[in-house]
Amino acid sequence: MSTCNGDDPRIHDIKTKIRVVPDFPKPGIMFQDITTLLLDPKAFKDTIDLFVERYKSKNISVVAGVEARGFIFGPPIALAIGAKFVPLRKPKKLPGKVISEEYVLEYGRDCLEMHVGAVEPGEHALVVDDLIATGGTLCAAMNLLDICSALFSSFTRVIFVSSEHRTCWCRSS
């Protein structure tokens, strides 16, 4: 496991732009709201730059973004590193042939889908979302890519939920 350099001055500014909203979506949850980060063009750009600097030389040809906030961070990274962008979506949103992966929620189950043919065997893939909590969604994403026999390079998240601090957290599988 690795983290971004916490001494990078950009990270401090990014942290300060993320808003915490208590009791959303339900009582007891402290919601990490990245939309306030998006209102600061410099902080948003720095966020993308940090990921691009990490991944641009890693032969990544696929950036997969988890609906919906992964759609905000994934495409700019994909564009900057010259990779294709693959949306991973809730059921019945993607037209045509899809593969599906079910995953467990706190109460009940949900499903993530990806287009057949979007990712080819042997491609190096990066999965992007704004936040990891329990990891259920990202595990489903990883499984979808495994089904396509993609070489799973990395997870990328903007935020790792921690009670002590928020960091830009990246992990190599």
Partner 1 sequence: MYPLARCSAAPRVGGAFRFQVESSRAFPSRGKNSPRVVAVTTTHAWSAHLTLNLPHSFIPSSRPHTPACVGAGGDLDTSSKMAFESEAPQDDRIARIASTIRVIPDFPKPGIIFQDITTMLLDPKAFKDTIDLFVERYSGKGISVVAGIEARGFIFGPPIALAIGAKFVPLRKPGKLPGKVISEEYSLEYGTDIMEMHVGAVEAGERGIIIDDLIATGGTLSAAIKLLERVEAEVVECACVIELPELKGRERLGGKPLFVLIKSA
Binding site for partner 1 (CB under 8 A): 19, 21, 24-25, 31, 33, 35, 38-41, 44-45, 48, 67-69, 71-73, 75-76, 78-79, 82-87, 89, 92-96, 115, 117-118
CA 3 to CA 52: how far, in whole Å?
Answer: 14
- Minimum separation from the CB atom of position 68 to partner 1 (A): 5
Considering beta carbons, is residue 72 or 170 the nearer one to partner 1? Answer: 72
The DSSP secondary-structure symbol of 25 reads: S
- Minimum separation from the CB atom of position 122 to partner 1 (A): 16
Query: Do the bridges between strand 151-160 and strand 169-172 make them parallel or antiparallel, or are there none, so unpaired?
Result: antiparallel
Considering beta carbons, is residue 118 or 170 the nearer one to partner 1? Answer: 118
CA 166 to CA 124: how far, in whole Å?
Answer: 28
CA 63 to CA 172: how far, in whole Å?
Answer: 15
- Minimum separation from the CB atom of position 146 to partner 1 (A): 19
- Minimum separation from the CB atom of position 138 to partner 1 (A): 18
CA 11 to CA 68: how far, in whole Å?
Answer: 23
Considering beta carbons, is residue 76 or 145 the nearer one to partner 1? Answer: 76
Considering beta carbons, is residue 104 or 116 the nearer one to partner 1? Answer: 116
Give the residue numbers annotated as catalytic, written as ranges: 69, 106
Question: Among candidates 5, 81, 13, which has minimal Cα distance to 46?
Answer: 13
CA 130 to CA 67: how far, in whole Å?
Answer: 10
